[in-house]
Amino acid sequence: MERHIEEENQKHSNTSPEPLVYRQADSKNTVVNVNGIEIGGEKIVIIAGPCAVESKEQLLETAKLVSSAGAVILRGGAYKPRTSPYSFQGLGEEGLKYLSLARKESGLSVVTEVMDTRQMDLVCQYTDIVQIGSRNMSNFPLLKEAGKCGKPVLFKRGLMATIDEYLMATEYILSEGNNQVILCERGIRTFENSTRNTLDLSAVPVLKRKTHLPVIVDPSHGTGYNWIVPSMAKAAVAVGADGLMIEVHSKPGDALSDGAQSLYPKDFVQLMSDLDKIAQAVGREIFHH
Ligand code: PEP
Ligand code: MN
């Protein structure tokens, strides 16, 4: 192992035992397997869908369109972490039911967020991947539950977290025996306010160097505006992301959450075709069913 990586890892070695999250000299990349879709392998996996599950019709329509454009995993929140308690909070279990219906009709696997330890069992009954959002990156009891849930976990970087804080939080999941963790860069809070967050694309190569886990990028929450999402999605693939998570809405103007950053279907279709070329340029390809 290169010396400075060894030194970086050394910083953590007084917390015994040795953290599982860090890459060791001989560690192979961890590949997360979701119904045969390998995340962290050769191919790049595209997750797409609305910010929130809003209705059965909305979800089924969006599932169909993202699937035909080439996405293989459907996203959609049933429990939404909103800034204001008066904003739409998600449909709860009803939303989970629509997700499993969309899963059945489209053949897509699904990912949805869990916000509370008390929802873990219920959410796991409906989803293929459990998402833990940025606001809960340091909710250690929730992370431990995710470590015991038996499902792959999509774990997002906190708004103010350094990469090492993020990785030690990931350790809470791994230490419970679950190594099926997908890391997700989704932008951090900086002084810059031209975008909703500052998408830290340098986190991708840094994370790939420090850990064996797959790393994906969410350019939607990372930027906050749909006009910038395709550029940053392409850049993310160019810097080595193992996948992307992108918000798509059939009518962004009518979305109950995050409309401004949601792609129009036609722009998602165009992006998918552009991504094939970027992936090829970096010696990879987009995973298609
Ligand atoms: C989301 O992906 O639905 C979400 C709320 O994202 P984040 O936790 O990154 O804000
Ligand atoms: Mn959102």
* Cα gap 201→276, rounded to integer Å: 19
Gap between the Cα atoms of 205 and 239, Å rounded: 7
Non-local (6+) Cβ contacts of 117 within 8 A are: 141, 142, 145
Closest atom, ligand 1, to C-alpha of 80: 5
Q: How far, in Å, from the CA of 270 to the mean position of ligand 2?
A: 21
Q: Is the CB of 103 under 6 A from ligand 1?
A: no
Which residues, given as ranges, of the chain have pLDDT below 50?
1, 3
Residue 72 near residue 45 (C-beta atoms within 8 A)? yes
Q: For 177-201, what is each residue's pLDDT tens digit?
A: 999 999 999 999 999 999 999 999 9
Is 199 a pocket residue for ligand 1 (Cβ < 6 Å)? no
Amino acid 224: pLDDT: 98
* Contact (CB, 8 A) for 148 and 178: yes
Quick one: pLDDT at residue 6? 52
In this prediction, residue 1 carries a pLDDT of: 45
Burial environment of residue 198 by CB neighbours within 10 A (0 to 12, 13 to 18, 19 or more): middle
Task: Give the mutation target among 131, 153, 196, 199 for probing the ligand 1 site: most ligand atoms within 8 A of CB.
Answer: 131
Nearest CA to ligand 1 atom 8: 133
